Structure 1
């Protein structure tokens, strides 16, 4: 865990380490989700940030907005994401594919059921492997956000390095 974090523990790690088996399994699974997928990093981080906003997990957004920007996202997209799921959400900063990723994130997070037409569009755009990876990222980060919120884990004092 420390190696994956560049020698540093973050508040999430400190909480996970109350149970070594959980920390080890989490680190392996989330490490693969973050670093071993063929999914475009921008789409990965878009899904993660979307989950964070929808679930009110500021910690998660704090840690994933910088990598989203590093992967090619824009500040306008970050600002717009803050309103995902609200009436005033403005999708114009996002491509059609990114809008579909955000819609998938919204449906998986809010209702769990996903519209079949949306899944068909994403399957055509991404292919089976990448679609499975995207769904897994969204599902995994719903788990992360629920853990963070239930245990009242807050962002560190300084913004993470991208």
Structure 2
């Protein structure tokens, strides 16, 4: 697969072609995690094989090895994408969010998250989802999390492992969105 021509022209760094990506063992590992194809984000990351290697291992575990339910992970990922204006991230995770059990109304609310205050408390989300979204908003917008937000999310998630993993997902996808936005990578 070669990069999409319209995307390659708008990114701030060129997307590497199949002939340019390497090393082969790393590219094969990324393709395996992705189900066969590289996505445009991989074609950016492969500018630094060391970075791409760590990313592939870490993000693979974030995506597949955590105990947090997929619906809450995707909620956090899409919430971060909405707040940071990471269209590429939202484009790739919105279908996964819906497949995990979210509704179209919830997805529509997430699209408003960055523009409208109070969306995290929208009744379209249940109490646990609202607690996770409040955590997403505070971690993404101000980094600092209030005691009240932390306590609410911890209680809603039900375990310290789930709380830590949710914090980790939010942090990881803030990293993803910042790379996407800085690189000007869009779907």
TM-score under structure 1 length normalisation:
0.92
What is the distance in 2 between the residues matched to 1:120 and 1:10? 37
Counterpart position of 1:160: none
Counterpart position of 2:163: 131
CA-to-partner distance for each residue in 1:37-80, whole Å, 9 max, x for gaps? 00010000000000000000000000111111111101110011
Q: Which has the higher contact order (CA 8 A, sep 6+)?
A: 1
Compare CA radii of gyration and give the structure with the larger one: 2
CA-to-partner distance for each residue in 1:101-158, whole Å, 9 max, x for gaps? 1110000000111111221122222210010000000000000000001111121xxx
Of 74, 92, 99, which aligns to 2:123? Answer: 92
What is the distance in 1 between the residues matched to 2:77 and 2:92? 10
TM-score under structure 2 length normalisation:
0.80
Instruction: For structure 2, list consecutive stretches of 5 or more residues without a partner in the other structure.
Output: 1-29
What is the distance in 1 between the residues matched to 2:64 and 2:118? 33
What is the distance in 1 between the residues matched to 2:117 and 2:143? 20
Of 81, 98, 105, which aligns to 1:69? Answer: 98
**CA RMSD, Structure 1 to Structure 2 (Å):** 1.2
Of 66, 69, 83, which aligns to 1:40? Answer: 69
What is the distance in 2 between the residues matched to 1:73 and 1:144? 22
Task: Specify whether residues 37 and 5 from structure 1 end up closer, same or farther in structure 2 by C-alpha distance, changes over 3 A only.
Answer: same
What is the distance in 2 between the residues matched to 1:78 and 1:26? 27
Counterpart position of 1:154: 186
Aligned residues: 155
Contact 2:127 2:156 survives alignment (8 Å): no
Q: Partner of 2:37: helix, strand, or coil?
A: coil
